[in-house]
Amino acid sequence: MSMLQSNLYIPTLKEVPNDAQIPSHQLMLRGAMVRQLGSGIFSYLPLGYKVAKKVMNIIREEMDAIGGQEFHLPALNPIEIWEQTGRVEAMGDVMFHIKNREGLVLAPTHEEIITFHARQHIKSYRDLPQIWYQIQTKFRNEPRPKSGVLRGRQFTMKDAYSLDNSWEGLDVSYNKHAEAYRNIYSRCGLKFFVVGASSGAMGGSASQEFMVESPYGEDTCAVCEDSGYAANIEVATSEIAPIERLTDNPEVEEFPTPGARTINHLIEKFSIPLDRCAKSVVCFADGKPYLVLMSGNDELNESKLQSALQATAIRHADETELFDLTGAHAGSIGPINLKTPMTVIADKRLENVNGLVSGANKDKFHYRNIDMSRDCKIEGYYDLRSVKGGELCPTGCGKELRVVNAIEVGHIFKLGTKYSQALGATFLDDSGVENPIIMGSYGIGVERIIACFIEQSHDEKGIMFVPSIAPYHVHLLGLGIKKSDAVKRTCEQLEIELQSKNIEVLYDDRDVSPGVKFNDADLLGMPIQLIIGEKNLSAGNVEIKNRITGERHVVSVDDSTDLIKKLLVSK
RNA sequence: CGGGGUGUAGCGUAGUCCGGUUAGCGCGCCUGUUUUGGGAACAGGAGGUCGAGAGUUCGAAUCCCUCCACCCCGACCA
DSSP A49-85: HHHHHHHHHHHHHHHHHTT-EE----SEEEHHHHHHT
- Torsion, CA A137, CA A139, CA A140, CA A142, rounded to 10: 90
Strand residues in A124-204 grouped as ranges (E) = 130-139, 154-164, 193-196
Residues A265 and A370 in one domain: yes
Q: What's A85's domain CATH number? A: 3.30.930.10
Length A519 CA → B40 C1' (Å): 15
User: Do A437 and A316 lie in a common domain?
Assistant: no
ipTM: 0.95
Ramachandran class of A271: left when φ > 0, alpha when ψ lies in -120 to 50, beta otherwise? left
In this structure, the answer to whether residues A231 and A121 fall within a common structural domain is yes
Specify the pLDDT at position A205.
Answer: 67
CB of A99 nearer than 7 A to strand B: no
Query: Is the C-beta of residue A543 closer than 7 Å to nucleic acid chain B?
Result: yes
361-420 of chain A touching strand B, CB 7 A cut-off: 411, 413
For residue A282, CA distances in Å to A310, A320, A346 come to 17, 12, 12
Distance A16 CA to B44 C1' (A): 30
Q: State whether the beta carbon of A18 lies below 7 angstroms from any atom of strand B.
A: yes
State the Cα–Cα distance between residues A134 and A157, nearest whole angstrom: 8
- Same domain (yes/no): A424, A313: no
Nearest alpha carbon to residue A413 among A391, A434, A440: A440
Judge if the beta carbon of A514 is closer than 7 A to nucleic acid strand B.
yes
Q: Are residues A431 and A514 in the same domain?
A: no
Backbone φ and ψ of A146, nearest 5°: -160, 170
Residue nearest to nucleotide B70 (CA to C1'): A39
Q: How far is CA A349 from the centre of its chain?
A: 30
Name the burial class of residue A51, with classes exposed (0-12), middle (13-18) and buried (19+) by CB atoms within 10 angstroms of its CB: buried
Residue A43 covered by a domain: no
Phi and psi at A59, nearest 5°, equal -60, -45
d(CA A16, C1' B28) / Å: 14
| Angle (CA) A548 A551 A555, round 5° | 130
Nucleotides of strand B under 7 angstroms from a protein beta carbon: 1-2, 6, 11-13, 26-28, 35-40, 69-78
A92/B74 CA-to-C1' distance in Å: 20
Q: Which of A331, A348, A382 is the last residue of a domain?
A: A382
Note down the domain range covering A520.
Answer: 474-569
Q: How far apart are CA A490 and CA A371, in angstroms?
A: 86
pLDDT tens-digit readout, A156-203: 999 999 999 999 999 999 999 999 999 999 999 999 999 987 554 444
For the residues of A377-425, what is the DSSP string, one character each?
--SEEE--BPP-TTSBPTTS--PBPEEEEEEEEEEEEEEETHHHHHHT-
Query: A21: Cβ under 7 Å from strand B?
Result: yes
- Examine residue A29 and state whether it is found in any structural domain, yes or no: no
Q: Please state whether strand B lies within 7 Å of residue A303 at its CB atom.
A: no
A128, A214: one domain: yes
For residue A146, being part of any structural domain is answered with: yes
Q: Name, in order, each residue with C-beta under 8 angstroms of A375's C-beta and a sequence gap of 6 or more.
A: A252, A335, A336
The rounded distance, in Å, linking the Cα atoms of A296 and A283 is: 18
Question: Residue A251: how many CB atoms within 10 A of its CB?
Answer: 9
Are residues A309 and A355 both part of a single domain?
Answer: yes
CA neighbor of A476 nearest in space, from A403, A544, A413: A544
In a domain, residue A305? The reply is yes
Q: What's the Å distance between residue A534 CA and nucleotide B4 C1'? A: 56
Distance in Å, residue A32 CA to nucleotide B2 C1': 36
The number of distinct structural domains making up chain A is 3
Of A448, A447, A458, the closest CA to residue A211 belongs to A448
- Is A368 in the same domain as A446? no
Residue–nucleotide distance: A25 CA to B9 C1' (Å):
24
- pLDDT digit string (tens) for A411-434? 999 999 999 999 999 999 999 999
* A37 Cβ contacts chain B strand, under 7 Å: no
The dihedral of CA A117, A121, A123, A125: what is its sign?
negative
**Dihedral sign (CA A359, A362, A367, A370):** negative
A314 touches strand B (CB under 7 A): no
Asked if residue A188 and residue A156 are part of one domain, the reply reads yes
Q: Using CA atoms, how far apart are residues A326 and A319, in angstroms rounded to an integer? A: 11
CATH number of A305's domain = 3.90.960.10
Tell me, yes or no, whether A140 and A170 share the same domain: yes
Provide the whole-model pTM.
Answer: 0.92
Q: Which of residues 129-148 of A touch strand B (CB under 7 A)?
A: 142-147
Residues A268 and A293 in one domain: yes
- Among residues A351, A346, A280, A352, which one has the least CA distance to residue A308? A346
Q: Is the CB of A35 under 7 A from strand B?
A: no
- 3 state DSSP class of A476: strand
Residue whose CA is minimally distant from B38 C1':
A515
Report the distance separating Cα A402 and Cα A19, nearest Å: 31
Same domain, A417 and A364: no
Q: Is A545 helix (H, G, I), strand (E, B) or coil?
A: strand
pLDDT of chain A, 571 residues: tens digit per residue: 678 999 999 999 999 999 999 999 999 999 999 999 999 999 999 999 999 999 999 999 999 999 999 999 999 999 999 999 999 998 989 999 998 999 999 999 999 999 999 999 999 999 999 999 999 999 999 999 999 999 999 999 999 999 999 999 999 999 999 999 999 999 999 999 999 875 544 445 688 999 999 999 999 999 998 999 999 998 899 999 889 999 999 999 999 998 888 888 888 888 899 999 999 999 888 888 999 999 988 989 988 898 888 887 788 888 888 888 898 888 889 999 898 889 999 999 999 999 999 999 999 999 999 999 999 999 999 999 999 999 999 999 999 999 999 999 999 999 999 999 999 999 999 999 999 999 999 999 999 999 999 999 999 999 999 999 999 999 999 999 999 999 999 999 999 999 999 999 999 999 999 999 999 999 999 999 999 999 999 999 999 999 999 999 999 999 999 999 999 998 6
Q: Is A465 within the bounds of a domain?
A: no
